[in-house]
Structure 1
Amino acid sequence: MAVTDDAIAAIRSMIMSGELKPGDRLPPEAQLSERLGLSRNSLREAVKALALLRVLDVRQGDGTFVTSLAPNTLVETLSFVIDLHQDSSIVDLLGVRRILEAEATHMAATRLRPKQIAQLAVLAESVNSQSSVEELVEADMEFHRTINAASGNAYLAATLEGLSGATSRARIWRGVTEDGAIDRTLAEHRAIVSALRMGRADLARSWATVHVSGVEMWVSSQLGKDQI
């Protein structure tokens, strides 16, 4: 495995140095293995690993290319990894989301335009306690997607998109089983919008933390009951 790691590190170095750019085709296997001083087998394993991570795109009969490395690629990779860990690690994922969501909201507070904040307010009012849980979660995801996109950091927004989708099942289950969960979610959305409208980045971050923490705490309390 160490030899394969060396091959991965060598290809990564070529990408990070700019020698290989998004869209570039890797040199032929024989040429690249000779240049790196690695066996062709270890190089093949490295390519397979990097293809799984969406760093490389192997096109049969055409060659191996560096992907666009765009934020949406990060979402696909993150979702793939998360799908392999649908157990108690959901709490850890929610913990990561809580930290990142709060910072993204804080960053967005100084970038959101009045028109965008007005759109968030409309979105926050688009569902109510009579809406289905699925409708609530869909609105919740769009609400945070809009804020995260305004953070100005495409990779942060992409990471949160992956985390949000991965934890949607937990949020649906909470809405179904916990009394008052829907009303609290709606109230927290309104509080975030209010803080953003006032230009209070610190307050918006605090409300975003409270918002995600509610799901995180509920999931933690349910793990021993086999409900997630």
Structure 2
Amino acid sequence: MAVTDEAITKIKDMIVRGELGPGDKLPREADLAERLGLSRNSLREAVKALSLIHVLDVRQGDGTYVTSLEPSLLMGAMEFVVDFHRDHTVLEFLEVRRVLEPAATSMASLRMSEEDIAGLRTHLDAVPEEPSVEELVKSDLEFHRLVARGSGNQVLCSLLDSLSGPTQRARVWRGMTQSNAVDRTIAEHRAIVDAIASRQPDVARAAATVHIAGVEEWLRTSLAPEDTARPGLA
């Protein structure tokens, strides 16, 4: 194991064991290095790496602290990695969405408040009668974010947020090339809200599955068989 990796592991273990918790300040560099049996150099590199993925917060002139460790904060690192995806993997991101979003929608049908459900309906009602592709995609992203948040599961919500970027261009492309994309998207969104409002998790799951699978199937058939293995098309 590389020296820096060992240092990262040792700091992580301190957090996992509860020796350091969210918001706690790390001991002085010299003291912590001695305690963990590390050189100050390797400890510095470990702190730098853990600050990049939002586990530690280095405050100049104050010290280094463990962050809140909230899922939304930690998932930011995953979102950073996801941004480097190659275009031909968009279908794989859609496959993951097809697994996770129906689960989030099912949970939302049991956990969303009546006020939040009314907010979903208000959001859909605010979409212009003839929205531009940009307006439709913006509304679509926000709709799915609200549903994910309604699941009450921060980890699931953060995961879905991180998957939104890679599929955004597919949404735009669909809006530009599929003649009924606007009507179909809005109708499917309303079906999802109705299922959530009826407090029927299985129906909500099915409605979300149909919606995501429709986008996935459209993308599959839009790509020529010989081009599906090549980047630059999605």
Asked if Structure 1 and Structure 2 have the same fold, meaning a TM-score greater than 0.5 normalized by the shorter chain, the answer is: yes
Q: Determine the structure 2 residue equivalent to 1:206.
A: 206
How many pairs align?
Answer: 228
Q: Determine the structure 1 residue equivalent to 2:189.
A: 189
Q: Determine the structure 1 residue equivalent to 2:180.
A: 180
Q: Determine the structure 2 residue equivalent to 1:32.
A: 32
1:174 and 1:74, CA in 2 relative to 1: closer, same or farther beyond 3 A? farther
CA distance in 2, matches of 1:35, 1:91: 48
CA distance in 2, matches of 1:30, 1:218: 58
Q: Determine the structure 2 residue equivalent to 1:140.
A: 140
Q: Determine the structure 2 residue equivalent to 1:158.
A: 158
Q: Determine the structure 1 residue equivalent to 2:72.
A: 72
Aligned pairs for 1:109-124 (under 5 A) are 109-124=109-124
**Per-residue deviation, 1:135:** 1.0
8 Å CA contact retained: 1:128, 1:186: no
8 Å CA contact retained: 1:129, 1:183: no
Q: Determine the structure 2 residue equivalent to 1:222.
A: 223
1:62 and 1:118, CA in 2 relative to 1: closer, same or farther beyond 3 A? closer
Q: Determine the structure 1 residue equivalent to 2:131.
A: 131
CA distance in 2, matches of 1:171, 1:68: 34
8 Å CA contact retained: 1:74, 1:159: no
8 Å CA contact retained: 1:95, 1:216: yes
- TM-score, scaled relative to structure 2: 0.86
Q: Secondary structure at the match of 1:142?
A: helix
Q: Deviations over 1:48-67 (max 9, x none)?
A: 22111111112233322211
Q: Secondary structure at the match of 2:179?
A: coil
Q: Give the partner amino acid of 1:222.
A: L
Percentage of matched positions with identical amino acids: 55
CA distance in 2, matches of 1:62, 1:219: 51
CA distance in 1, matches of 2:28, 2:49: 18
CA distance in 2, matches of 1:29, 1:207: 54
Q: Give the partner amino acid of 1:5.
A: D
Q: Give the partner amino acid of 2:53.
A: L
1:66 and 1:118, CA in 2 relative to 1: closer, same or farther beyond 3 A? same
Q: Give the partner amino acid of 2:60.
A: Q
Q: What is the RMSD computed on CA atoms of the aligned residues?
A: 2.2
8 Å CA contact retained: 1:23, 1:67: yes
